[in-house]
């Protein structure tokens, strides 16, 4: 199942992003710090809820990035704990 969302948080210290996929729902992934992304970019991926190594597509910039997916369906409270900045 193909999924998509919008980059809500980028933390280069952790090399991680939070992708808003629904109201109060996020996917968290580790990224290559050289992948050019910005807050608000639309991200899509093929393997819905799979974890681990995946390739995500930045639709906004027409680029792909290899990521390590940590989790899906994370709520706002948990996101704020993981990304306190």
Q: What is the pLDDT of residues 71-82, one digit of tens each?
A: 999 999 999 999
Cα(53)–Cα(80) distance, rounded to whole angstroms?
24
In the numeric block, which tokens belong to residue 66? 């290899």
With residues binned 3-state (H G I as helix, E B as strand, rest as coil), the percentages for the chain, rounded to 5, are 10, 55, 40
- Give the model confidence (pLDDT) of 7-28 as tens digits: 999 999 999 999 999 999 999 9
State how far the Cα of 44 lies from the Cα of 21, in Å rounded to an integer.
Answer: 10
The pTM (predicted TM-score) of the whole model is: 0.95
Say how many C-beta atoms besides its own lie within 10 A of residue 18's C-beta.
25
Q: Residue 82: helix, strand or coil by DSSP?
A: helix
């Amino acid at each position: 199942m193909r999924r998509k969302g919008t980059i809500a948080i980028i933390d280069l210290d952790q090399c991680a992003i939070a992708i808003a996929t629904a109201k109060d729902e996020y996917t968290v992934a580790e990224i290559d710090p050289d992948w050019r992304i910005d807050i608000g970019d639309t991200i899509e991926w093929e393997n819905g809820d799979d974890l681990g190594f995946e390739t995500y597509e930045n639709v906004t910039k027409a680029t792909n990035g290899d990521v390590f997916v940590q989790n899906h369906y994370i709520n706002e409270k948990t996101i704020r704990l993981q990304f306190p900045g």
